[in-house]
Amino acid sequence: MLPQEIFSLLMLFCVFRASVSVLDEDDDYDLMYVNLDNEIEGPVLGTEETVSCDCQREHTEWDKLFIMLENSQMKENMMLQAMDEILKVDLQTLKAELSQLTTNLAGTFTATIEKVTSHIVSQVEQALVKNSDQAEEAKRLHESEQGKVLEHVLLLSHNVSSRLGRLESTWLRRSEVEAQETAFQQDKFSPIRADNLILNSLWKELQQTRAELKASQKWAAQHLLPAGCETAILFPMRSKKIFGSVHPTAGMTLHSFTACIWIKVTEALRKTIVFSYGTKLNPYEIQLYLSWESAVLVVGGDQHKLAVKNVVVPGKWIHLCGAWSSENGSASLWVKGELAATALDIADAHTVPDGGILQIGQEKNGCCIGGGFDEALAFSGKLTGFNMWDRVLSAKEIAAQSGEDACSIRGNIIGWGVTEVLPYGGAQYIS
């Protein structure tokens, strides 16, 4: 290596200068000159006689010089070797320290990851506990609200009972007055005045009772679900992302059916879907939708439909049933348990195929590439008590669907509270 050669030359030069200094100061030797053959010229002459060769004499100056050079070269090699060994030891020490540092860092990193993971798991557990507590609190609030509802209804019933008691006592007083008419025959106008007072009192009592009953019914209609249903699905707004997916209990290969549902629509447009069943070949196999104040039943396609007008009132619960049979294409629409419209030749001899998609609040149509949802067709409001049978129900059975505790009656294809109905996009169950 070039630096090592320069270092060797410098060492040689220093040794040479030191040797020359020694030679200059020695009184026993004369300076000798070196020829090109590296031989000594001009032997030293004695004063009287030539000095005889003595093989055992001391080393000459050149011998000493070469010995010093050899010693310096050995020292240099020893120093280089020592430096090499020191560097190797330092390198091994550094390597061991780096290995130890890597091991420590790996341990620290692993401990940090475990700590962070433990912290995240702890936060998730806390969030779950918090959500559970919130759900429990919401449940308690709901139960408290139901208790208030019952207390309110009981209070109203008590008020009505007391009103009726007062009415009864008023009638009894009237009877007593009539019994005493014979005692007041001299004054002809007294009985008439007493009757008028009693009638006015009765009229006021009846008016007040009617107003309280009307307010109670309105309040109950706003806060309670119909037909004894415990749950409903809320569609908070019209959106192409909000719908409900229904998974029928049995197959949908149908030659006849009856479908019933309770709805409370916020606003109905030209076509507002209540429920829809369709396949890839025909997205409009079965549909029940609203058109302003009308209800429309579709079977087999939009060309086969039955409508009934002036039955939909926004903000109020209404019960709808649609029935169809392929035998003669008979179709019927029922409103609040009563027959509202009927027709024949509605998709007669048609069979509703299996393998389609059944949804509430939306329809899978051809509005978009590959089919999709249309915001203008979306349902907004509440619905409950959705049931479907693979036969045409009798008039008595349909009437029972709109009565009290109707939610306890379930269809064999779709049974509300039993069949899986999954809300999406913001639709949610309420009770």
Q: Tell me the two tokens of residue 426.
A: 């913001």
Q: In this structure, are strands 272-278 and 357-360 parallel, antiparallel, or unpaired?
A: antiparallel
List pLDDT tens digits, range 269-287: 999 999 999 999 999 999 9
How confident is the chain (431 residues) per 10-residue block, as mean pLDDT? 58 58 45 42 45 54 78 81 83 85 81 82 80 70 67 70 74 69 56 68 79 70 77 95 95 97 96 95 95 96 94 95 96 96 95 95 66 86 96 95 87 96 95 85
pLDDT of residue 21: 52
Rounded CA separation 260/185 (Å):
66
Q: Give the H/E segment covering residue 231.
A: none
**Is the CB of residue 333 less than 8 Å from the CB of residue 322?**
yes
**Is the CB of residue 279 less than 8 Å from the CB of residue 285?**
yes
List pLDDT tens digits, range 116-126: 888 888 887 78
pLDDT of residue 150: 67
pLDDT of residue 368: 44
Rounded CA separation 406/398 (Å):
10
pLDDT of residue 367: 45
Mapped onto helix, strand or coil, the DSSP state of residue 412 is: coil
pLDDT of residue 34: 40
**Is the CB of residue 252 less than 8 Å from the CB of residue 356?**
yes
pLDDT of residue 164: 73
